[in-house]
Chain A
Amino acid sequence: MSQHLIVLFVVLPMLAGILSLFAHGRRTLQAFIGLVFLLANCGVAIWALITVCQGHGADAGILVSQMGNWPAPFGITIVVDPLSALMLGVESVVCLAVFIYCISQLSDRFGGGFFQPLYHLLMMGVQWSFITGDLFNLFVAFEIMLMASYAMFVVGTTPQQIRQAYKYVILNLIGSTLFVTCAGLIYGQLGTLNMADITRIAVSGQLPVSSIPVIAMLLLVFGGKTAIFPLWYWLPDTYHTMPAAVGGLFAGLLTKVGAYVMIRVFVMMFGSSQEVSSIVAPLIIVSAIVTMFLGVLGAVSMHSVRRILSIHIISQVGYMLMGIGLGIAAVSGLTPTQTLISREMAVAGAIFFILHNMVVKCCLFLCGGLMIDHAGSDDLEKIGGLLKRAPWLAALFMIAALSLAGLPPLSGFFGKWVLVKESFNQQQYSLTGFAVATSLLTLLSMLKIWSYGFWSPPQGKHVEHPEVRPATAGGLFSVALLVVFALSMGFGAQAYMNVSRYAAQRVLDPRPYIAAVLGEQHSPPHLPAENTVVAAAKLNPLASNGEVRR
């Protein structure tokens, strides 16, 4: 019965949004409402994560609720499986931290108006995307997320920034159009929009031939949301125009939702279909290489903190794509069991990387915001010497930056380690090479911010900015919260990785998911061809220590 509580992931932010809309103009009251609901949301997320991780046997750690109690493929299903639960768990904490930052650090110009209601509704869209089990419903969730992001763009921005926002809106509208068209076409091809039902069709090998191009089009849709190589344009031109807090929220959540959906769709739904994977996987891998490397080249060539950070989002997405690609690509030279474990680890690496990135990227953006508030500018050629003025900020930034650059034992390292390992195992050496090179340039760009922002004295004339306000306790607290979280993901990486691996197992073998949503009798008895060994791998997230061995 308690599994219906998962609807709270939508209800809580919606209530928070509505209530704080009614408290319009009273920031303190709004902040209070927001904090209460965000804390409650964190509680629900933690409950869901624990419940999912404890799940064995019949319910298999998957929480399902049918909206309106219509049976599965007919109504709308919401599902929290280990993957969703992980995303929600980290996302809820990130949202809480950013919210604390916003209410304490943002001026009325940015944090006033409809900012707080929009914040909650954006979060509602994000959480909705994580829990929905229906392709069209996912579109709705994306629309909420995007519409909230459009609206947040215009809070406190200047006309120049709105000009940039226009690109963002148009490109995302094109993406949405494509999405809804594809959803319609998929319904036309398969007669259902329920994810579990589509997965069932794919697993039992019944995808019509003509549906393959339509499914491939989904790559365009979700690739656009994730900001992968030929579709990322909306991101670099716009993110740096936003206040850093909003940038942090978007950086931490929006592209990660895209990456999550790519795992959900291309690994879980269609991963077992050889026809789809053979088309999608090479593209994902090539795109991963270009995305990570070109992205980081763009990032190092920038001169402002926010630009470096926002272009870095793209580069980091490349690593997630790498994991997804390795999770579905054809593998040669490994036994079926090794293949399976390698895929599992690759997807687990991608999931871990998403989680790490949510926290660290967001944290860096918030640091960037505090830097701007201290220095009055985020142009690295103007600011400097912040170490003396804000030593705590410097320390926090350093940890987050090194974490992003992937130095052990910080969180970024372990995701990279697993991904690099699996790319070796699967003999995708070009991926390995670019991943390592990207990592070096990431380090360079982080050192650039550190050296010019925190160490070197300000060059040229110091520009007084009207918005200079030193870091508040709340601002620093939120950054510290995220840094502590990131540290826990580093020093306790094994726990996070094990849960990620559990999530990856559930995604690579979607039969429990299908059974939970559609009922036991509809779950296919076995997976096609090389995935059959899945059943051998027993699922205990708290003690899975297997390794890939040749």
Chain B
Amino acid sequence: MNPTWQLTLAILAPVFCGAAGMLLPRKEVGLRVGMSVLGPVLAMWLLGLFVRDHGFEAGVFSIAWMESLQLNLQFNADQLGLFFAFLVSGIGLLIVLYARAYFGPDEASLFRFYPSLLLFMTAMLGVALADNFVLLLLFWEMTSISSFLLIGWERDDPSSVKKAMQAFIVTGAGGLAMMAGLVLMGSHTACWSFSELAAAGVTGDALTTVAFLLIFAGAAAKSAQVPLHFWLPGAMAAPTPVSAYLHSATMVKAGVYLTGRMWPIMAAALPIWPRLIIPLGALTMVYGAFIALQKTDLKQIFAYTTVSQLGLLMCMYGLSAFEYHHQPNLVWDVTQILNHALYKAPLFILAGAIGHVASRELPELKGFFWRGGQAMIMSLVLLLAAYGLAAGPGTLSFTAKEFFFYQIYHAKEAIPSPWFWVLVSAGVATGMFNVAIFVRLFRTLVLDREPSGHKHGHDHAHGGGHGHGDHGHETGIWPAFLWIPGLIIVSFQFVGGLAPGLFDHWVLHHIEPSRFYEAHLPSLLDVAAHLAHPELPLIMSGVAIALGVTLGLAPVLRGVFKDPFDHAYPGFYTLVTKIVGPQAFGFVQRGHLGSYITFVAVSMVGLFFWSFGFDLTAFARQWPEGIVFETDQFSELTLGVLLTVLVCLTAVLLPIVTDRASRVLVLGTCGFAVTAVYYLYRAPDLALTQISIEIVSLILFLLVLSLIPREAPKARMWVAPRVVLSILVGGVMFWLTLTSSLVVRPPNPSMAVNNGTASTLGQYFMRNSHHGIDTEHFPREQLTSGLVDRSQFHEGDGHHDEASLHPGGGGDNIVNVILVDFRGFDTMGEITVLALAAMGVWTLLRKVPRLDDEYCSPGEYGNDAGGFGDYAGEPGGLLRVDIPDPSNSSGDGHAQPAVANRSPQS
């Protein structure tokens, strides 16, 4: 099989199984579990086949998907990727079984849980194996989505819904930053995948640095680095299987994984790499461990230790920028990642199990160890895992922590002295806190033997227990699966710790190329030698354990400090949706028409001046030449000027006159003056149209006046600005009209068709109105009076047979021919507009109850009339809607098209 398809199938196997599980009948719990187990098993099988064929260093496999969008099915099945893929599917398998025990035989919960979980598994496998940037982003966001769905599991609990949103928004913000970073990296380097980027190499220029910072922001958000860590403790609202899987073992490692992907490419090239990542990781590491110590809820404790551990992992990748003996300080960091998964997943599994049978609150768990068989096993497994958390000797965790300390130690030359010791102290402090947590757990569960009545109290503390009400009574093998997966996983801790050679042979040998550390001790003899000559790392471990035991036993630092970042997301949410959003948007969207019209008018004036570059001398330069008064047209001109003055006067009067009736009359005056202008300039058709419209609208306005409330709406703006704005708008229109009518038009060769002589539309229309005969040279009087001698047209026209094809429009009146032929398509549209207006008006009128009663039969219009009882008593009905100024809408709808239709013939 094509290796790319093999990997694709491995990635998709879980989600297919999840979808198939949804098709099963709800009752079939067993089948559903089987189907869900099949997902990770198939994935592992396919990956295993892949490894058998291609090994752990197979390289890049690619199939084109959307090349022009830089998205391809391109996978990089190298050691890091395959390690993650096996980790995800392996732990996933155990989590599927654990979830069955956790939810009990609850059909509804399992029905919706498994698909989401398996969707996540696919997403995470994809993240681990994707090489292409966009493909990575795709799976990355998919993990966010599935995490969102799973955190918001407890839908009836508004707080857990908020926590889900918080997690999605924080990781989503990171994802977006990452998208920007990947785009920048891609378009800057022309590489759209990590393998290409590694081959091409990067330089430490500014753009690459910015791109790296953006990508790292995504990684930091996903891997819960301070100050973006707060979503992770919040995510504990999810059911415990989810916490164990997504929020400790796998998903939160995605950011670490991404950093690991990037470090061989960028760590050496970018000076900012160690300077940013080491302090950030160290801070997160100490901060998380410190807050964890304050918590009393098991899941919260483990969540914060997860934050701490993620900080440590980041810090290690930061340190890997430095070389030691000309070798990288570390390669894939697999030991530490694996180690964390191997103790943190069991911790969560057992936290859920204990919460299930008793409680997750430490004060309520005193002496839990002694409460019977199952409690004893659970406590034991929990403490084994917590021993791993404390990095006790004999665990893989101890080795891993030594690795980390050696890494700091090796970086001694690269890090200036005070900072080196700060880093050492941070490492010791983190170790100390972790040890203290273990000691405290041990003391509470085992040493504190306090008789208590909290037996079998169900856990509802933080939304962890739900949908498994009758689970406590379930019998059979399944209840044991509350702790079996934890035991299986944690046992690897001790295999790795006690038999390092075996672990090395099985695991590390394949996937971690760099294993030269002193901490890597293949046999017990080496351990003895090592103990005899302790170096700084071993001393650090010793100090941390000693201090930790003391701190754990001392009654200090319990619940004193709260994480201030708990308020970060609610604060952000309130800020955006309650303060900034409404204020900013409300500033422009004020809700009244006057302000909107003002904005539009201001924009218009602003746009006009902007188009001149705010350069007023341009006006002078553009002043059209050729304004010439022709004396023979003086009489026409005089009349025209008079009419123009009249029109202007009405325009000025309209805002001054407050009485509505007078306004209507003034408006009418304006309209009739315009009609006169049309007539004066020989457009009788238009004059006729306009005068009919004016008459009708005047009468209508006067009729409507009686229905409108008397009081005029108050102006919301000062008078002076309104006057200025009006004058400016008028001035703009004046200027535009003036220049448009006097401009020297560009020559238009495309009009030189037909007889080759027409150079304007007007000439063409004249020549083609009547059967293609040129009417342009006809005596002017004949044309304007409309008394054209028709017989002249047919002279010289070879055939005036009506049936033969004529190029012309076939009408005497050019305006008519324009309206119905040249631009008949426009006219058809205008007629449609009229029909639409009629429909609208008719709909409106039917709503006036008076008319309803008289004209409409109730049956025809269904239940329509009933819906409007709320204003049935008011005479006038809808016409009483507050209409501030009817002059705005005067004739715009219909008069304007008629005017505009004139333009082609001018």
Which listed residue (B65, B584, B760, B860) contacts A494, Cβ 8 A? B65
CB pair A213–B141 under 8 Å, yes or no, is no
A407 B825 Cβ-Cβ under 8 A? no
Is B765 on the interface with A (CB-CB < 8 A)?
Answer: yes
Given A114-B839, A231-B600, A301-B578, the answer on whether A180 and B900 have CB atoms closer than 8 Å is yes
Residues of A within 8 A of B753 (CB): 71, 519
Q: Report if B858 contacts A (CB, 8 A).
A: no
Contacts of A189 in B (CB 8 A): 739-740, 743, 745
Of the residues B67, B152, B180, contact of A545 by C-beta under 8 Å? B67
Query: Closest residue to B749 on the A side, CB-wise?
Result: A522
Q: What is the chain A residue whose CB lies nearest that of B880? A: A159
**Alpha-carbon distance between A150 and B748 when the two chains are bound, in angstroms:** 39
Which residue of chain B has the shortest Cβ distance to A174 in the bound complex? B600
**For the complex, is A487 an interface residue (Cβ under 8 Å from B)?**
no
Q: Are B187 and A421 in contact, with the CB atoms below 8 A?
A: yes
Q: Check if A43 is an interface residue, CB within 8 A of chain B.
A: no
Over the window 97-136 of chain A, the binary record of Cβ atoms lying under 8 Å from chain B Cβ atoms (1 yes, 0 no) is 0000000000111001110011001001000100000001
A118, A191, A279, A544: the one within 8 Å of B745 (CB): A191
Q: Are B830 and A151 in contact (CB under 8 A)?
A: no
B786: interface (CB < 8 Å): no
The reply on A336 being an interface residue by CB < 8 A is no
- The interface centre, meaning the residue of B152, B739, B906 with most chain A CB atoms within 10 A of its CB, is B739
CB-CB under 8 A for A301 and B836, given A25-B860, A108-B864, A191-B745: no
Is B414 in the interface zone, CB < 8 Å from A?
A: no
Distance of A455 from chain B, by nearest CB (Å):
4
Interface of chain A residues 512 through 550 with chain B (CB within 8 A): 518-519, 522, 544-550
Chain B 853-881, CB-CB to A under 8 Å as 1, else 0, gives: 00000001111100110110000011011
Q: B832–A108 contact, CB under 8 A? A: no
Instruction: Report chain B residues within 8 Å CB of A114.
Output: 839, 842-843
Q: Please report which residues of chain A, range 156-196, place their CB below 8 angstroms from some CB of chain B when the two chains form the complex.
A: 156, 158-159, 162-163, 166-167, 169-171, 173-174, 176-178, 180-181, 183-193
Q: How many residues of A contact B (CB 8 A)?
A: 141
Whose C-beta in chain B lies nearest to the C-beta of A167?
A: B593
* CB<8 Å pairs between A and B, sample of 10: A72-B750, A107-B863, A108-B863, A121-B836, A155-B843, A183-B903, A213-B612, A216-B607, A216-B610, A425-B187
**Residue of A at shortest CB range from B841?**
A151
Stretch of B166-174, B473-481, B484-492, B498-506 at the chain-chain interface: B166-174
> Do B600 and A230 touch across chains, with their CB atoms under 8 A apart?
yes
Interface residue ranges, A against B (CB under 8 Å): 14, 21, 25, 67-68, 70-76, 78, 107-109, 112-114, 117-118, 121, 124, 128, 136-137, 139-141, 143-144, 147-148, 150-151, 154-156, 158-159, 162-163, 166-167, 169-171, 173-174, 176-178, 180-181, 183-193, 197, 200-201, 206-214, 216-217, 219-220, 224, 230-231, 233-234, 236-237, 279, 283, 294-295, 297-301, 311, 385, 387, 402, 407-409, 414, 417-418, 420-421, 424-425, 432, 436, 439-441, 443-444, 447-448, 451-452, 455-457, 459, 493-494, 497-498, 501, 518-519, 522, 544-550
Nearest-CB distance from B586 to chain A (Å)? 8
What's the nearest-Cβ distance from chain A to residue B78, in Å?
23
Q: Which residues of B contact A295 (CB under 8 A)?
A: 585
Give residues of chain B (61-109) contacting chain A, Cβ–Cβ below 8 Å. 65-71
- Selecting from B157-165, B286-294, B308-316, B349-357, the interface stretch reads B157-165
CB distance from B165 to the nearest CB of A (A): 5
Q: How far is the CA of A71 from the CA of B582 in the complex (A)?
A: 54
Residue of A nearest to B840 (CB): A151
- What 4 pairs between A and B have smallest CB-CB spacing? A301-B581, A151-B840, A298-B585, A188-B740
* CB contact list, B732-771 vs A, under 8 A: 733, 735-737, 739-741, 743-751, 753-754, 760-761, 764-765, 768
Instruction: Let me know if A217 and B161 touch, CB within 8 A.
Output: no
In the bound complex, residues from chain B placing their C-beta under 8 Å from that of A298 are 581-582, 584-585, 589
Nearest CB in chain B to that of A405: its residue: B172
A197 touches B903 (CB 8 A): no
Bound CA–CA A409/B140 (angstroms):
11
Q: Are A190 and B745 in contact (CB under 8 A)?
A: yes
Contact between B578 and A424, CB atoms less than 8 A apart: no
Residue of B134, B156, B870 touching A417 (CB-CB under 8 A): B134
Q: Which residues of B sit under 8 angstroms from A162, Cβ to Cβ?
A: 844, 878, 881
Which of B71, B172, B832 gathers most chain A CB within 10 Å?
Answer: B832
Asked whether A68 lies within 8 Å of B821 as measured between CB atoms, the reply is yes
* Structural contact, A440 and B169, CB atoms closer than 8 A: yes
Interface centre among B70, B603, B863 (most CB of A within 10 A): B603
Give chain A nearest CB distance to B880 CB in angstroms: 8
**Does B190 lie within 8 Å of A216, measured CB to CB?**
no
CB distance from B497 to the nearest CB of A (A): 41
Q: Which residues of A contact B607 (CB under 8 A)?
A: 216-217, 219-220, 283
Chain B residue nearest to A182 in the complex (CB): B736
Chain B interface mostly helix, strand, loop or mixed? helix
Determine the chain B residues whose CB is within 8 A of the CB of A447 once the complex forms: 148, 165, 168-169
B897 x A143 contact (CB < 8 A): yes
* In contact, A112 and B611 (Cβ under 8 angstroms): no
User: How far apart are B743's CB and chain A's nearest CB, in angstroms?
Assistant: 5
The answer to whether A76 and B825 touch (CB under 8 A), given A417-B179, A447-B168, is yes
Sort chain B's interface into a size bin: 35 or more
Q: A167-B596, A169-B889, A197-B748 are in contact. Are A494 and B66 (CB under 8 A)?
A: yes
Contacts of B169 in A (CB 8 A): 440, 443-444, 447
Q: Please determine whether A408 and B141 come into contact, CB atoms closer than 8 angstroms.
A: yes
- A14 to B832 CA separation, bound complex (whole angstroms): 9
Asked if B184 CB lies within 8 Å of chain A CBs, one says: yes
| Extra A-B contacts (12), CB below 8 Å, given A283-B607, A439-B176 | A67-B824, A71-B753, A75-B822, A107-B863, A150-B837, A177-B896, A192-B748, A210-B624, A297-B584, A402-B145, A448-B165, A494-B71
A418 to B187, CA, bound (A): 11
Any chain A CB within 8 A of the CB of B904? yes
B597 at the interface (CB under 8 A from A): yes
Asked whether B591 lies within 8 Å of A237 as measured between CB atoms, the reply is yes
Contact call A109/B862, Cβ cutoff below 8 A: yes
User: Which residues of A have CB within 8 Å of B746?
Assistant: 190-191, 201, 206-208
The answer to whether A455 and B861 have CB atoms under 8 Å apart is no
Contacts of B900 in A (CB 8 A): 136, 139, 180, 183-184
- CB-defined contacts of B823 to chain A, threshold 8 Å: 75-76, 136-137
Q: Contacting A301 at CB < 8 Å: which of B71, B582, B736, B903?
A: B582
- A-side contacts of B578, CB under 8 Å: 301
A137-B825 contact given A147-B840, A545-B67, CB 8 Å threshold: yes
Q: How far is the CA of A174 from the CA of B889 in the complex (A)?
A: 8
Question: A214 to B903, alpha carbons, bound, how many Å?
Answer: 16
Q: Report the Cα distance A237→B896, complex, angstroms.
A: 27
B622 within 8 Å of A by Cβ? yes
Instruction: Report the bound CA distance from A421 to B133 in whole Å.
Output: 13
Give CA–CA (A432, B581) in the complex, Å: 21
What CA separation (Å) do A170 and B735 show in the bound complex?
25
Q: Which of B652-683 touch A at CB < 8 Å?
A: none
- On whether the beta carbons of B889 and A173 are closer than 8 Å, the reply is yes
Q: A137's closest neighbor in chain B, by CB? A: B826
Q: Which chain B residues numbered 109 to 150 have a C-beta less than 8 Å away from chain A?
A: 134, 137-138, 141, 145, 148
Given that A109-B867, A407-B145 are contacting pairs, would A457 and B156 also be in contact in the complex, using a CB cutoff of 8 Å? yes
- A178–B768 alpha-carbon span in the complex (Å): 31
Which A residues touch B534, using CB under 8 A? none
Given the complex of chains A and B, what is the CA–CA distance between A414 and B611 in angstroms?
A: 34
For the complex, is B599 an interface residue (Cβ under 8 Å from A)?
Answer: yes
Which of chain A's residues have a CB closer than 8 A to the CB of B603?
A: 220, 230-231
B639 lies within 8 A of chain A by Cβ: no
A-chain residues with CB within 8 Å of residue B604 when the two chains form the complex: 178, 217, 220
Give CA–CA (A109, B864) in the complex, Å.
5
A408: chain B residues at CB < 8 Å are 71, 134, 137-138, 141
Closest to B845 in A: A154
B867: min CB distance to chain A, Å? 5
